[in-house]
Structure 1
Amino acid sequence: MSGEISMIGSVILALFLAGYLGQQYLPPPTPKVIGLDLGTTFCSVGVFHPGSGEVEVIEDEQGRKSIPSAVSFTATGVLAGHEAADLADRNPQNTIYDAKRFIGKIFELEVLEQESIRYPFKVINNNGSAEFLISTNRTFSVSPEFIGSRLLLKLRKMAERQLGVLIQKAVISVPAEFDERQRNYTVRAANLAGLEVLRVINEPTAAALAYGLHKVDVFNVLVVDLGGGTLDVSLLNKQGGMFLTRAMAGNNKLGGQDFSQRLLQYTIKRVQQEFGVPPTLKEDIYHLRQAVEAAKINLTLQPSVTLRVPLHLQTHSSSGTPEGAAPAPVLFQDVITRELFEELNEDLFQKILAPVKTVLAEGHLEKENVDEVVLVGGSTRIPRIRRLISEYFGKEPNTSVDPDLAVVTGVAIQAGIMGGSWPLQVSAIEIPNRHLRKTNFS
């Protein structure tokens, strides 16, 4: 009997040794479950690599780690990501963006009409659901989940190109305030892209995973997610590996696009002051918008930037231009300082604190009792915003993770867990709060 026990022990020891040696010397398996962040303005895909335990956010052919959440329809095909965004000014009626705002939602007719005013494409009502009217060589409508599926298909193809394997399974993130219908329609978008969704994870929980908060001793976590078009603030309680979303608030009409728009409006006034006329050509507005967006990004690192934009203005001196010919270009130059940018947007920046205060009040928590403040979304790179949050809480927010990639990093970690990758992480479990409602300051 003792000999049999000894033999079983030897077999178990050999198996452990074989597993250890396999992990040390055999190439790790290729990950086959991807993590997807389908954002309002940008989306990304990541994978958790077994063995190294590292997350890779997958790049496109030009080395970019995210793609615009835009889909453009032409007479010859459907484009997604950067290719679609490049057509936004030339094909505005058929280039759809912000589809995430509509996915799975039921609208009253008046509300949908009010929402659609801000877009150059046509939004129609189909029994309470939003659809987008497309007119190329024919006229047809597409659903928000179809738009999402084209973006997810693009991300899936990027992952397959990088990993060299067929990808059929994924974990996907959604805003914490998404109801069951919105979550189901997001899953439907993934299914249309040929993906089986193993789990849907809340974006604040994904961010907490990215920051490693599931493995450290913290209890109250505040997540400030400020992207291109929306602000979401979530208060999480963590016990062990479980997260409970305790309170939510936000502003679905506040983000980086609004800060850029303020700077664009200022720039248009400066053009008129210098040349006597405002820019009116679509190409001029497009080039100014691109220059302003680049300036906003550069001002996160530099105290000032110089705008240099060639414009084809319809000035008095161009009145003699032959009919049909474009006016001769003029060069608009201006120095934009960080102080000017902050002054133009100070009232918008102050709006960030309103949902922060609401979340703390609804969560019955004093700001001094927040253990960790984490920043998510590219707009949280803006120094004034970081300073504002730091001054309010009396401590520096956690910025150890790239805010643009925090959500996709966390989703990729969860995808690795679902795929059984080693070294295994502690899985974050979300406790559903059925009675939670989001306060919106739009």
Structure 2
Amino acid sequence: MSGEISMIGSVILALFLAGYLGQQYLPPPKPRVIGLDLGTTFCSVGVFHPGSGEVEVIADEEGRKSIPSSVSFTTTAVLSGHEAVELADNNPQNTIYDAKRFIGKIFEPEVLEQESARYPFKVINNNGSAEFVISTNHTFTVSPEFISSRLLLKMKKMAERQLDVPILRAVISVPAEFDERQRNYTVRAANLAGLEVLRVINEPTAAAMAYGLHKVDVFNVLVVDLGGGTLDVSLLNKQGGMFLTRAMAGNNKLGGQDFSQRLLQYAMERAQQEFGVPPTLKEDIHRLRQAVEAAKLNLTLNPSASIRVPLHLHTPDSSESPDSSESPEGSAPPPVLFQTAITRELFEELNEDLFQKILVPVETVLAEGRLDKQEVDEIVLVGGSTRIPRIRRLISEFFGKEPNTSVDPDLAVVTGVAIQAGIMGGSWPLQVSAIEIPNRHLRKTNFS
């Protein structure tokens, strides 16, 4: 009997030794399960690397780790991400974005009509479901899940190019307030892209995992997710590795795009003051919008930023110039250089009323969760707009302590989803999985 026990012990020791030597001297296996963050404005893909335990957020050919959630249809191609955004100004009716707002939802006709009025593309009601009308060389409709599938397919191909292995399985994140139908339609979009979804995880839980909160002793976690187009605030209760979403609130019409729009409006007014007419050409407005976006990002790091854009304005001077008489009728006049300096103080002043709106859902989730703000253990920031210094200052002043900023807010959700993907794929080193406790009675409070 003792000989058999000794033999079993030797076998176990040999297996451990083989595993150790394999980890030390053999290349680790490539990840086969990807983590997907299908955002309203931007989306990202990440993987958990066996062996090193590191998360890699995969970049596109230009090194960009997030791609715009836009799909554009032309007579010859269907373009996704940055390529679609480049066509947005010249092909607005056939460039679809914000599809996540429509996926899996059942709309009353008047609600869908009101919602779709914000967009340059046409949205129709098909038995309560939204569909987008595309007119290229013929007219047809596409569903929100088809638009999402094109984005997921692009990210799948990005991962396959980087890892040099076929990718067939994924973990995907969704907003905590998504109901069963919205989750199923998101899974359907992944299936259309050739992916089997192993697990659907809530975005606030994924963000908490990115910050490592599934492995530390905290109880009350507040997640503030402010992206390009939406604000979501979630209060999580955590015990062990289990997360319960206790309260949710937000504003689905508040985000970085609104802050940029205020700055764009200011720049256009300045141009009109200087030259007597506002920019009207699509190309000029597109160029000015890009410069404004760059200035906004610059102001997160620097106290001031400059905008320098050539504009083709139809001014009285341009119409009288000798060059303009030689130009073909209807062509743009010679460019004038518009330049202005933007300070961080000016940017904050232009957007102060919008910034203050961020605190409304924060106060709501605390009230609904019956929690005092001093009882919040961790404040987690998610979404690129939370980089704005005024927003971070606003949150820290409200809570009387600094929010956790140790993770890139743009990549927090995809990092957490990639960790969960590594868990589902059985990757070494093993992680503690986050377990979400369903809260069937939870409803999200929306402000606008």
**Would you call these one fold, judging by a TM-score over 0.5?**
yes
Does 2:397 correspond to 1:386? no
Partner of 1:33: 33
Q: CA separation in 1, counterparts of 2:354 and 2:348?
A: 10
TM-superposed CA distance for 1:319, in Å, is 2.0
Q: CA separation in 1, counterparts of 2:10 and 2:105?
A: 59
The residue type equivalent to 1:86 in the other structure is E
Partner of 2:312: 312
Q: CA separation in 2, counterparts of 1:287 and 1:418?
A: 44
* 1:15-414 matched pairs, under 5 angstroms: 15-320=15-320, 321-322=324-325, 323-414=329-420
Q: CA separation in 2, counterparts of 1:263 and 1:324?
A: 29
TM-superposed CA distance for 1:427, in Å, is 0.4
The residue type equivalent to 1:419 in the other structure is G
Q: CA separation in 2, counterparts of 1:65 and 1:18?
A: 37
Q: CA separation in 2, counterparts of 1:339 and 1:330?
A: 27
TM-superposed CA distance for 1:325, in Å, is 2.6
Count residues with an aligned counterpart. Answer: 442
Q: CA separation in 2, counterparts of 1:85 and 1:337?
A: 28
Q: CA separation in 2, counterparts of 1:7 and 1:441?
A: 67
Describe the SS at the equivalent of 1:326.
Answer: coil
TM-superposed CA distance for 1:276, in Å, is 0.6
TM-superposed CA distance for 1:20, in Å, is 1.4
**Counterpart selection for 1:429 from 419, 435, 441:** 435
TM-superposed CA distance for 1:348, in Å, is 0.2
Q: CA separation in 2, counterparts of 1:315 and 1:179?
A: 53
**Can you list the C-alpha shifts for 1:192-230, whole angstroms capped at 9, x where unaligned?**
000000000000000000000001110000000000000
**Can you list the C-alpha shifts for 1:388-438, whole angstroms capped at 9, x where unaligned?**
000000000000000000000000000000000000000000000000000
The answer to which of 19-28 and 217-226 deviates more is 19-28
Q: CA separation in 2, counterparts of 1:437 and 1:280?
A: 43
Q: CA separation in 1, counterparts of 2:288 and 2:14?
A: 67
Describe the SS at the equivalent of 1:71.
Answer: strand
TM-superposed CA distance for 1:293, in Å, is 0.5
The answer to which of 14-23 and 427-436 deviates more is 14-23
Instruction: After the TM superposition, list the runs of 4 or more consecutive aligned residues in structure 1 that deviate by more than 6 angstroms.
Output: none
Q: CA separation in 1, counterparts of 2:180 and 2:432?
A: 26
**Can you list the C-alpha shifts for 1:150-179, whole angstroms capped at 9, x where unaligned?**
000000000000000000000000000000
Q: CA separation in 2, counterparts of 1:404 and 1:52?
A: 23
Describe the SS at the equivalent of 2:48.
Answer: strand
The residue type equivalent to 1:296 in the other structure is K
**Can you list the C-alpha shifts for 1:115-143, whole angstroms capped at 9, x where unaligned?**
11111110111111000000000000000
Structure 2 residue runs of 5 or longer lacking an equivalent are none
Q: Please, what is the CA RMSD of the aligned residues? A: 0.6
**Can you list the C-alpha shifts for 1:354-373, whole angstroms capped at 9, x where unaligned?**
00000000000000000000
Q: CA separation in 2, counterparts of 1:227 and 1:160?
A: 27
The residue type equivalent to 2:366 in the other structure is L
Partner of 2:4: 4
Q: CA separation in 1, counterparts of 2:116 and 2:238?
A: 39
TM-superposed CA distance for 1:374, in Å, is 0.5
The residue type equivalent to 2:303 in the other structure is P
TM-superposed CA distance for 1:23, in Å, is 1.4
Q: TM-score if structure 2 supplies the norm length?
A: 0.98
Q: CA separation in 1, counterparts of 2:132 and 2:330?
A: 34
Q: TM-score if structure 1 supplies the norm length?
A: 0.99
TM-superposed CA distance for 1:24, in Å, is 1.6
TM-superposed CA distance for 1:318, in Å, is 2.0
The residue type equivalent to 2:304 in the other structure is S
Describe the SS at the equivalent of 2:263.
Answer: helix
Q: CA separation in 2, counterparts of 1:177 and 1:25?
A: 46
Describe the SS at the equivalent of 2:133.
Answer: strand
